[in-house]
Amino acid sequence: MISLEVESFAHDGAAPALTDVSLSVQPGEHVVLAGASGSGKTTLVRLLAGLTGLDAGATLLGSITLGDQRLRFDGSPRDPRIDAARWSAQVAYVAQGAWGQLSMMSSTVGEEVAFGLANRGVPSAQLRLRVEEVAVALGLTPLLQRDPRRLSGGQLQRTLIAAAVVQRPRVLVLDEPFQGLDDDAVREVGAALEVLRGDGTGVVVSAPMLPLDAPRSARVLALAGGRPVFDGPLAEARSAGLDRYGIGTAGDPPTRTGVDRPAGAGPALVELRNVSFSYPDERGAPRVAGLRGIDLDVHPGEIVALRGPNGSGKSTLLQHLDGLLRAGAGSVTVEGTLIRRQPTGSFAGTVGYLFQDTDQQLFERTVLREVAYGPRVTGAGRAEAGRRAAAALAEVGLRAVEEVHPYELGFVQRRLVALASLIATGPSLWVLDEPTAGLDAPARETVAALLAAHARAGGAVVLATHDAAFADAVVHRSLWLDDGRVVREGH
Amino acid sequence: MPRRRIYNPVTELLTAALLVVLVLVVNRWEFSLGVLVLGVLPAVLFSGRARRIGLALALVTGPLLISSLLLHGLFFPEGERILLDLGIARVSVEGLVFAAVLGVRTSVFAGVLLTTAMTLDIAELLATMTHRGWNRKLVFVIGSAVGLIPHVALRGQQITRAQQARGFVVGRGPFTRLRGLLAVTTPLVIGLLVDASERNHMLEARGFSATVARTSYVPDSDTAGQRVFRRLLVLGVGLCCAVWLIVTVPG
């Protein structure tokens, strides 16, 4: 149905991003494109989506075949250009980075989902029917009237997947679609993909790790350094030793944990007493869970996980720890300081915060400036801030890219830059929102090791996560939240 | 409470535009005042957003009215009936009347356009334009221009929160607020440019450049009656303007 023969592909004068890669997707087939950060999988899915980048100086030697149309590329200026409108009628694509994919023309989720069909002139009545069907399949029905710009990361991701699925394409290409989705949402998206496959759509999903929930018949093409290192059934891929290429399996625990039981002695670093909070009502939106009667103590040397479904109040609780949100009732004390009306920025020396959406928090023009920002504004001199930034970048293994613009890095590296920014400021409490979402195996190991080292040095960590295997291996205890309450606590 | 909608947004927008044309052509203060009192004022009061529109009107027209009053009230060259002689400045009856006429017209323009802009249902407007077969790129420009404002505000808030979480302290004084605003500008603009370049690819990938007539998810609220009404409105205002110009222009 679609096949790709890439002898070589390079971005504007750079070293080849892909070499000798072949991929063919048959009707109803599920292909997992697995690879660690920088393996070339995003480049490959963009080629499938018809985004060759030839106008931006990229060079492709090879061919792309869609149906009975074969396009041959020889790296010359006369190479064919792909008509994006016609291509996308058959190949639907969901990229990474949800914000850039919003049409900005839609005031409701329903309109956003319908955007592609409306562009192709599908009659209004039929359009609404198809949107409703997809919304039911993906659990989006309660969100159809919401403003897409005001959705949570997971909800937005599901909206964009729905917008692709609704087009009933011959091929559906998804670039790391499960980042930030909770287990229920992953299952809903997986079920919708199965329905599409049943109707003959070929599905290509890129992922940093081998998936746990993919269909048994799924085929894996694994990439490392832009070259194929495995092509075969998922079951075989799991035992093919792909770890040596940084390709782990989702659901596997990290190996470099080394977490000791904390002494739990000394005064608590964080104390929450009967904390309640409610969000102001947004018109037309369902009620968002706040917090109700939360009590929590975190001691130096402790790593605590907040777990529970999307919207259970995990991020809301985290944002109370550095004053981004203020409790409506009860008290929050960090390192002996009661959080009242002090400016949020005044807590940064004590509490470091990693946002769920990385792109929300990167705002400088080089990686080094980004990481040095925290130390600089919390009082370190320029030289000292630079030194601390360099040290933090070394800890996450990113010294080599310190002069690069953060936006030029891949997702995993951007995530590590955000973590380095937090480390460089030197807070004793790390507050991390989904620190492992979308990471490849090596980066996940790095995060596990950093957390353990921070706890051993007397710091504390509170993290929200859907990554059960990571939490089970790395944290000392977990709190399960639901509808703004702690419903269970344990190891 | 938002007002109950009777007319389609295109009808509302056209009515507002034609009212502005009429006030421009019929150059009489009595007419402008009549439109202001009988048209604009009730529209603001019954808009369901009277306070917000009132505030916006005050911010837009206030400085204009004051400067017009100072300029024409004190320095009107053709002023003959002098009320107060201040040497280089003279307060004249003619100057004050001219300032009042200009002020009333400015208030009508601002009142009509702000009330329309601040109560317009953008989704319905874009849907109507699409259902009527307007050029999709034009509809996109209008839609994204309007949609960009909340998007920019939201991105700005997110960057501010990230900077605060990393130690940037924004105080309550005007200078630190200004510093906060400047700190957010560069990353905001860069972020929006990156989004825009990605959006360009994604619009293509979602079939935006297809050539068939675009359809709309939002139902068509426009009616045949309103379309006839709009044509009659354009015709009527055109005729009125022509007659007025023939009657009033000498020679």
Q: What is the value of ipTM here, to two decimals?
A: 0.78
Dihedral, A445, A446, A451, A457 alpha carbons, nearest 10: 120
Contacts of residue A419, Cβ cutoff 8 Å, sequence gap at least 6: A354, A396, A432, A435, A447, A450
Q: What would the two tokens of residue A426 be? A: 């030197």
Chain A residues whose beta carbon lies within 8 Å of the beta carbon of residue B198 = 95, 97, 100-101
Burial (CB < 10 A; 0-12, 13-18, 19+), residue A375, is buried
SS3 B131: helix
Chain B residues whose beta carbon lies within 8 Å of the beta carbon of residue A418 = none
Q: What is the pLDDT of residue A462?
A: 96
- From residue A335, alpha-carbon distances to A330, A339, A391, A453 in Å are 17, 10, 25, 20
Dihedral, A345, A347, A351, A353 alpha carbons, nearest 10: -20
Number of Cα atoms under 13 Å in the Cβ half of residue A485: 4
Across the interface, which of A110, A149, A364 has its CB nearest the CB of B217? Answer: A110
What is the radius of gyration, based on Cα positions, of chain A? 23
Give the whole-angstrom CA distance, residue B171 versus residue B109: 38
Whose structure tokens read 């005044």? A346
Give the whole-angstrom CA distance, residue B163 versus residue B180: 9
Nearest to A283 by CA among A128, A153, A150, A111: A150
Using a CB–CB cutoff of 8 Å, tell me whether A97 touches chain B. yes
CA A427 to chain centre: 24
- Looking at the whole model, is its pTM more than 0.90? no
Between B120 and A43, where is the model more confident?
A: A43
Chain A residues whose beta carbon lies within 8 Å of the beta carbon of residue B165 = 322, 324, 344-345, 348, 352-353, 355, 361
Nearest to A319 by CA among A362, A290, A292, A359: A290
- The helices-and-strands tally (H runs, E runs) of chain B is 9, 2
Across the interface, which of B162, B190, B216 has its CB nearest the CB of A361? Answer: B162
CB contact under 8 A, A150 and B154: yes
Using a CB–CB cutoff of 8 Å, tell me whether B154 touches chain A. yes
User: Which whole number is the average pLDDT over B220-236?
Assistant: 92
- Sheet of A337-338: strand order equals A291-298, A270-277, A329-334, A337-338
Give the whole-angstrom CA distance, residue B244 versus residue B238: 10
Chain B residues whose beta carbon lies within 8 Å of the beta carbon of residue A349 = 167
| Boundaries of every domain in chain A | 2-245, 270-490
- From residue B71, alpha-carbon distances to A156, A437, B57, B75, B109 in Å are 54, 63, 21, 6, 20
Contacts within 8 Å (CB) and 24+ apart, B87-94: none
Mean confidence (pLDDT) of chain A:
88
pLDDT for B46-59, tens place per residue? 888 888 888 888 88
Inter-residue contact A45 to A33 (CB < 8 Å): yes
Q: What is the pLDDT of residue A464?
A: 94
**CATH (residue range A270-490):** 3.40.50.300
Contacts of residue A399, Cβ cutoff 8 Å, sequence gap at least 6: A390, A393
What is the radius of gyration, based on Cα positions, of chain B? 24
pLDDT for A458-491, tens place per residue? 999 999 998 888 999 999 999 999 989 999 988 7
Across the interface, which of B126, B130, B205 has its CB nearest the CB of A49? Answer: B205
Residue A439, number of CB atoms within 10 A of its CB: 25
The interaxial angle of helices A382-396 and A441-456, nearest 10 deg, is: 120
Highest mean pLDDT among A169-173, A213-217, B24-28, B138-142: A169-173
One-letter amino acid at B194 equals V
Chain A residues whose beta carbon lies within 8 Å of the beta carbon of residue B205 = 49-51, 84, 88, 92-93, 95
pLDDT for B19-42, tens place per residue? 999 998 988 888 889 999 998 899
Q: What would the two tokens of residue A188 be? A: 């809903």
CB contact under 8 A, A124 and B220: yes
Give me the CATH topology for the region A2-245. Answer: Rossmann fold (3.40.50)
On the question of pLDDT at A224 being above 60, the answer is yes
| Minimal-distance CA residue of chain A relative to B203 | A103
Across the interface, which of B165, B197, B203 has its CB nearest the CB of A353? Answer: B165
Confidence of residue B1 (pLDDT cuts 50, 70, 90): very low
Give the whole-angstrom CA distance, residue A353 versus residue A320: 11
CA A352 to chain centre: 20
On the question of pLDDT at A265 being above 70, the answer is no
